[in-house]
Structure formats: C-alpha cells, structure tokens
Amino acid sequence: MPRLTVDLDPEQVRAIVRDLDGALDPVGYVRLHGGVNDVYRIDLAGAAGPLVLKIYADEPEWIVAKEALVAGWLGARAGLPIPRWLRVDERRMHIPFRFALTTWLPGVTVRSLIGTPDIDDVYRQMGALLRRLHAIPMSAYGYIVADGIRRPQPTNDQYMRAAFEQALRQFREQGGEETLAQRLEEQVRSSLPTLEHSAGPVFCHDDLQQGNVLAEHDRNGSVQLTGLIDFGNARAGDALFDLAKALFCCGHEDPRSPGPLLAGYGAIDHPEPETALRAYTLFHRVVMWCSLTRHGDTSDGPAGLLRDLDEMSR
C-alpha cells in the first residue's frame, strides 16, 4: 500500500497545536517511521509531554473517526497504554489533509527489536496482550467503521461465509487464477463447519504485529511493552480470527515469533484449533494478496502469497 507523505513546515505545526490549546508551544517535530499514514511526534516547551500528529489520506473517509471511536472503546481495558485521541480535524484548514492529534507513547516498535536477546519474551507479552483484547466482548460480528459495526452479523458462521465470499470474489476480479480460486473455495467449504464454533464476538485488533506494538527497557534491563497503536483494521470477530492474523503477520517478519506468541496467549478454547487457525490464515492470505495487488505492489509479496495459497489448497 502506498505511503502518504506530507512535508510540514513549522508554521503549520504551530497552527495545528495552537488550535488544540493556545497555551502549547511546539519546539520541534520529527517524522516517525513505519505505517501507511504519515505520523509526526511534536515536542512541546515546558513540562507538557509530546503530541502525535497522524495524517490521513482521503480514503477511506471513515478511518479518522473509526480510530478515535475504537480508542475510546478500549480505554484502559487493553491493560497497556494506548494513545488518547485529543482532536480529530477534517476541515483541511491548516494542511490539505485530515488529521488527528493524540498523546504520545514512549518506546520503540517491536520491529526494531527483532533479533535481540529479549525478543522471545516480548512475543510472549504480545500474546498475553492479544488474550486481554479478546476478553473484551462485542455485540455482533463485523467490521468496525466510524459509527460502529458495519452490517453486524449474529453468528461467526454467517459473518465468515460472507467474508470468504467477498475475499474470493476480489481475488478473481484482481486476476487470481480461476483453478486456484476453485481449490480455495473447496478448502473453505470443508472448513466452515469448524468456524461455527465460536465463544462469541470479541474485539479484534486485526493488525497486531511488530510495527504496532511499542516496548522499552525498564530499570532492571528487561524489555516491557509500553503501548499499542493503529486501530484502522479493528473489527468484532472470533478470537482465533485475530490470533491467526497475528501469527501470520508476526511470523512473516520473524519466523521465530509464533511459538512464544502462542505461549503468551495461553490455552485455546476450540475443539479443532489447528483447523480453525488454518482456515483463518487462508482468509488473511487471500485478503493480503488482494490488498497488495490492488495497490500495485511489485515485490515478491503477492507471488509468495500465491505460492502459500497454492500449497494450502492442495
């Protein structure tokens, strides 16, 4: 997905901050790395902590309000700091883009810690974090937009049938091979009975990976998680749907991650957990291939995903 890049000047930053609170005095700003949206940390004079300026593209139009909504839902229930949305501005008065101002969280992304001696413990903490998120009940199954769950479904079976149908339709529309699509459909049909078993809809981050979790060393030298960010993908779904996404994304960046992440997550309440995780992983791979292809990705990502899907379909 192409990254939105915005070059700010000091007067724009000052106007944005003063619009939030006229007493605040920005003394510097720096672009933060990672993600699709352009994000800046803004340092303030005096004792005030930094702010984060997150700039959004025009589409999807509901994404700014969605992130603010989800952050409000979570509050302290994640058991880990999350940013507080201080202002959502869609007027395009100071810059020609929509933006949000949030609180800043300390730490570096877990991605920057891959390969360090403490990384396995960090992954266990991420698994425990995911377990806490899955303790947050939701009212129905469905994707979250600005005003709540879009087209809420009462059962996981209904939701996943529709989700698989849409994903495979997009797969075909974007040039996916028909014979592969048919084999994937057969895999889906055989897996759907397994997905009928769900403990109920829960909060799903749907993008819990190394770039969206922050960590830092504590006084004893141990690495501790310090924050969870980016709620643009959030939905209400089955817990294993989200666990499969985390294992898929984290494992792609670091093949060592699935074991400790699962250890931190703990016991899985499902009669056929491996079958369910495999089915959800198939879904996530199809969706990822469609997303990368739609945005013109020319790396080996789409080809690698096709190889994985071909293997899963046999």
Instruction: Kindly list the structural domains of the chain, giving each domain's residue range(s) and its CATH number in brackets, ordered by start.
Output: 10-103 (3.30.200.20), 108-312 (3.90.1200.10)
Q: Which residues contact 65 (CB under 8 A, 6 or more apart)?
A: 88, 146, 147
∠74-69-199 over CA atoms, to 5°?
Answer: 50
Q: Band of the pLDDT at 314, cuts 50, 70, 90?
A: confident
Q: Band of the pLDDT at 298, cuts 50, 70, 90?
A: low
Q: Is residue 51 pLDDT above 90, yes or no?
A: yes
Nearest CA-CA partner of 167 in 307, 74, 50, 284: 284
Q: Which residues contact 173 (CB under 8 A, 6 or more apart)?
A: none
pLDDT of residue 89: 96
Mean pLDDT of 219-248: 97
Mean pLDDT of 96-123: 96
What whole-number distance in Å separates Cα of residue 215 and Cα of residue 220?
14
Q: Is residue 311 pLDDT above 50, yes or no?
A: yes
Q: If phi over 0 gives left and psi between -120 and 50 gives alpha, with beta otherwise, what is residue 92?
A: left
Mean pLDDT of 9-33: 95
Q: Band of the pLDDT at 1, cuts 50, 70, 90?
A: very low
Mean pLDDT of the chain: 94
What whole-number distance in Å separates Cα of residue 20 and Cα of residue 14?
10
Q: What percent of the chain has pLDDT over 90?
A: 90
pLDDT of residue 87: 96
* CA torsion, ordered 130, 134, 140, 146, to nearest 10 deg: -40
Q: Are strands 148-153 and 51-56 parallel, antiparallel or unpaired?
A: unpaired
Q: Is residue 212 pLDDT above 80, yes or no?
A: yes
Query: Of 6-10, 27-31, 71-75, 163-167, where does mean pLDDT reach its minimum?
Result: 6-10
pLDDT of residue 6: 77
What whole-number distance in Å separates Cα of residue 37 and Cα of residue 54?
7
Query: What does the DSSP 8-state code read for residue 196?
Result: T
Q: Is residue 35 pLDDT above 70, yes or no?
A: no
Q: Is residue 261 pLDDT above 50, yes or no?
A: yes
Q: Is residue 3 pLDDT above 80, yes or no?
A: no
What whole-number distance in Å separates Cα of residue 139 and Cα of residue 256?
35
